[in-house]
Structure formats: C-alpha cells, structure tokens
C-alpha cells in the first residue's frame, strides 16, 4: 500500500479525528467512509454542504476485540472491599495504572490487598461489573458481553 501526504488544515484534521472510532480508525479510513457516504448521494447538482453522520460514543477495544464505552465505571467486590475502575481510551484504569484486559485489572485488585501468586488469578469477565445502560443495574461484564454476542 502506497501512502501519500496530503496537507490538511488543523480544523479539518480535528473534524476527521472527531469522526474516528478510537483505536480503530486512522485518517484514511475516515476519509474512505466520507467518500462512500458522498457516493450514496443521488447524482445531480452537487451540494457544497452535506450533513455528516454524528460520531458514535468513544469505545475502547480489549485485546480480544470486545468494546467498552470510554468513561464507563467498573466496580468489583473482593475480600469485603469495594474497588472501582474506569474504562479509558487505552484500557481499564485502576489505581493509576491502565490494563489491557479485564483479567489483568482484576489481578491488580487482588494484589492490592496482598493476594499473591495463583490465588490472585481471576477471570476478569466475572470479576468486574458495569452499569448496564438499558436496565440501569450493575451486571457482570461477562453478561453484557454474552448479550451483545447473541
């Protein structure tokens, strides 16, 4: 694939970034979508102003490809303690560090209270809960993953 450089004004570049899906799109893929959208407009006199689709919510993709909304709070209970984490554009943030999957973030929780070795191993999909936007209840992220797949 041959790449070329195209000068773009800063404000245009910022608008392209706003239309990009984090960790998925680059400028080329956004431009490709815009061209495809433009080509769906019936032929005839071209209108200089078009309505672009609104970008969707920012999402973080786990190492396995599951999507989480950026900013979503996560919570877990372990050994009588409650723990909170947040989904960021880079992963799951807990105690100032970012983890690339729910299990490593769950292990960090267990290690934070002194659990060591194999005892700290955890299935992060069962460990963490997220507020389900539909029911407004806290549910296992594994349940949300299963519902989206089926």
pLDDT at 73: 92
128 vs 134, higher pLDDT = 128
| Residue 147 clears pLDDT 90, i.e. is over it | no
Domain count, the chain: 2
pLDDT at 85: 96
Q: Which residues, 6 or more positions from 131, have their beta carbon under 8 angstroms from its beta carbon?
A: 72, 73, 137, 138
Q: At what angle do helices 27-39 and 10-19 cross, to 10 degrees?
A: 80
Please indicate, yes or no, whether residues 48 and 66 belong to a single structural domain of this protein: no
pLDDT at 145: 67
- Separation between Cα atoms, residue 99 and residue 116, nearest integer Å: 18
Tokens 């769950």 label which residue? 106
- Separation between Cα atoms, residue 125 and residue 60, nearest integer Å: 15
Please indicate, yes or no, whether residues 69 and 50 belong to a single structural domain of this protein: no
Q: What is the largest CA-CA distance in the chain?
A: 69
Q: Return the DSSP state at 3.
A: -
Please indicate, yes or no, whether residues 39 and 76 belong to a single structural domain of this protein: no
| Residue 125 clears pLDDT 80, i.e. is over it | yes
pLDDT at 48: 57
pLDDT at 126: 93
Percent of the chain surpassing pLDDT 70: 83
pLDDT category, 69, cuts 50, 70, 90? confident
42 vs 105, higher pLDDT = 105
Please indicate, yes or no, whether residues 31 and 69 belong to a single structural domain of this protein: no
Please indicate, yes or no, whether residues 28 and 85 belong to a single structural domain of this protein: no
Name the 3-class secondary structure at 16: helix
pLDDT at 108: 96
- Separation between Cα atoms, residue 36 and residue 33, nearest integer Å: 5
pLDDT category, 46, cuts 50, 70, 90? low
User: In which domain, by residue range, is 97 found?
Assistant: 60-149
């Amino acid at each position: 694939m041959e790449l070329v450089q195209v000068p773009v004004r800063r404000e245009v570049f910022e608008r392209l970034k706003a239309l990009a899906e984090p960790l998925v799109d680059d400028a080329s893929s956004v431009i490709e979508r815009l061209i495809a959208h433009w080509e769906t407009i019936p032929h005839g006199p071209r209108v200089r102003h078009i309505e672009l689709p609104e970008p969707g919510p920012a999402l973080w993709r786990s190492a396995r490809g599951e999507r989480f909304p950026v900013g979503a709070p996560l919570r877990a209970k372990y050994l009588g303690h409650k723990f909170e984490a947040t989904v960021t554009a880079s992963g799951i943030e807990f105690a100032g560090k970012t983890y690339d999957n729910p299990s490593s973030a769950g292990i960090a929780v267990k290690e934070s209270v002194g659990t060591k070795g194999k005892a700290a191993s955890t299935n992060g999909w069962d460990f963490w809960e997220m507020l389900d936007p539909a029911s407004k209840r806290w549910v296992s992220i594994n349940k949300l993953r299963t519902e989206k797949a089926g």
